[in-house]
Amino acid sequence: MAKDVNPPRGNRDFLPLEKQKREQVLGVIVDTYRQHGFQQIEAPVMEDLARLTSGQGGDNEKLAFRVMKRGEELQRAMADASGEDTLADLGLRYDLTVPLTRFYATNRSKLPAVFKAIQTGPVFRAERPQKGRYRQFVQCDIDIIGDATELAEVELLNASLDALAAIGLPDATIRVNHRSLLSANIAALGVAEADASGAMITIDKLDKLGIEGVAAEMETKFGADVAAKAGEWLRSIEGQLEVPAELSNLFQIIGARHPGKLRFDPTLVRGMGYYTGQIFEIEHPGSGSSIGGGGRYDGMVGRWLGQDVPAVGISIGFERAVDLVGDDLLGAAEGLVLIVDEGTEALANSLRLQAELIEVGEPAVRLERRPKKLNLLLENLATQGFGRFATVGAESVAAADLQIKDIA
């Protein structure tokens, strides 16, 4: 019986051209962020489980992959196990924000007063595998720590819109809300402060349930009066809304450079429990789901330092964004294949010529022994990004003498 050779459920392999596209798209995003003054950092993919499950990660905390204790510690924990978390002490990161706050707390003395960070890398969630949802996926974040002014939000949104345009997604827009506005609207419905998070969870389902569905769930949770007010409120805000004073400066400043790219949405929730101020969600007409989001999380870093530290961040959902990017970003197949004839001299010449061609700027030079069926080899390599070839023999001395031909 043949063994299962597929990757684990919820995970994927990427073929060479797929990987090339992903690296190019990610490179453009990171380069754009660098041009805006952000700096790359790297933190471990594992963090202390207690930190990952400290109550600030929302529902994602339930999806954290646990890493079991090792050696004697594991043996002692198994003998006295009272739950899965007693067997584990580490976890794989489910986003890049929680590890960033630990990174900042650890390295604060070595960082500028206002720190502008770029993070890219895989995150892990024990999702139920389905189309568009994976257990390992890449996030691309920028964060500003140490700036309580609106300049931080302006920089994040401006850089993100520039990055999306740079990868060929100029039609992306950003929905904006403020947690204080959302909290006030929920309180006006008659929901107690202690129940506000439950109401936010229901309102966050508006796109899926519609107004009537949200009202029905609110009735189940909070009663008929709250449900009636919720339905009335949601119907009253359908269509274009006036931007509230709390967000007017942001809309004015970003609108001057990116007209029409921001949209006020009083029902925008964002599921993370750590948001304290403005919140964002990136949309694109080619995607049925958001392709990124973020917000201000002023209270989060201070938990590890014992003092308040302002912070705000935004993340591009790389997996959804890269699927929207056309293959034309890769350009024409530019790789060059050197077909090496038999013999020691031809092989030695091929190494020297490969180095010479790379030095003068060839993006990729691949060596191949001459096969019996050259056309089949070239057809296959054409699908892998190699568009030209040349033959190297015992008399091939200089790169200028090579007869480079297109792979038809």
Kindly report the three-state secondary structure assignment for every residue of the chain: CCCCCCCCCCCCCCCHHHHHHHHHHHHHHHHHHHHCCCEECCCCCEEEHHHHCCCCCHHHHHHCCEEECCHHHHHHHHHCCCCHHHHEEEEECCCCHHHHHHHHHHHHHHCCCCEEEEEEEEEECCCCCECCECCEEEEEEEEEECCCCHHHHHHHHHHHHHHHHHCCCCCCEEEEEEHHHHHHHHHHCCCCHHHHHHHHHHHCCHHHHHHHHHHHHHHHHHCHHHHHHHHHHHHHCCCCCCCCHHHHHHHHHHHHHCCCCEEECCCCCCCCCCCCCEEEEEECCCCCCCCEEEEECCCCCHHHHCCCCCEEEEEEEHHHHHHHCCHHHHCCCCEEEEEECCCHHHHHHHHHHHHHHHHCCCCCEEEEECCCCHHHHHHHHHCCCEEEEEEECCCCCCHHHCCCEECC
> What is the pLDDT confidence band of residue 152, given thresholds at 50, 70 and 90?
very high
The CATH fold of domain 6-45+93-172+284-331:
BirA Bifunctional Protein; domain 2 (3.30.930)
Give the C-alpha separation, 43 to 119, whole Å. 9
Write down the pLDDT at residue 2.
56
Question: For the whole model, what pTM was predicted?
Answer: 0.87
Q: What is the mean pLDDT of residues 373-385?
A: 91
Q: Is pLDDT at 347 greater than 80 in this prediction?
A: yes
Which of 64, 65, 90 is CA-nearest to residue 77? 90
Q: What is the mean pLDDT of residues 398-407?
A: 90
Interval 54-95: pLDDT, tens: 877 777 888 999 999 888 888 887 777 666 668 889 999 999
Q: Is pLDDT at 272 greater than 80 in this prediction?
A: no
> What is the pLDDT confidence band of residue 331, given thresholds at 50, 70 and 90?
low
Q: CA angle, 10 as apex, 174 and 49 as ends, to 5°? A: 80
Burial class of residue 196 (count of CB atoms within 10 Å of its CB; 0-12, 13-18, 19+)? middle
Domains 6-45+93-172+284-331 and 334-406 share a fold: no
Interval 86-128: pLDDT, tens: 888 999 999 999 999 999 999 999 999 999 999 999 999 998 8
The residue that leads in pLDDT, 267 or 174, is 174
Write down the pLDDT at residue 81.
62
Superfamily of domain covering 334-406: Anticodon-binding domain (3.40.50.800)
Interval 217-252: pLDDT, tens: 888 898 899 889 988 888 888 776 789 999 999 999
Could you tell me the residue ranges of all domains in the chain? 6-45+93-172+284-331, 179-282, 334-406
Beta carbons of 247 and 265 less than 8 angstroms apart:
no
Q: What is the mean pLDDT of residues 40-44?
A: 96
How does 25-43 read in b/e, with b if 16+ C-beta sit within 10 Å? bbebbbebbeebebeebeb
> What is the pLDDT confidence band of residue 383, given thresholds at 50, 70 and 90?
confident
Interval 24-36: pLDDT, tens: 999 999 999 999 9
Task: Using DSSP bridges, classify how beta strands 311-317 and 136-145 pair: parallel, antiparallel or unpaired.
Answer: antiparallel
| Average pLDDT of the residues of the chain | 90
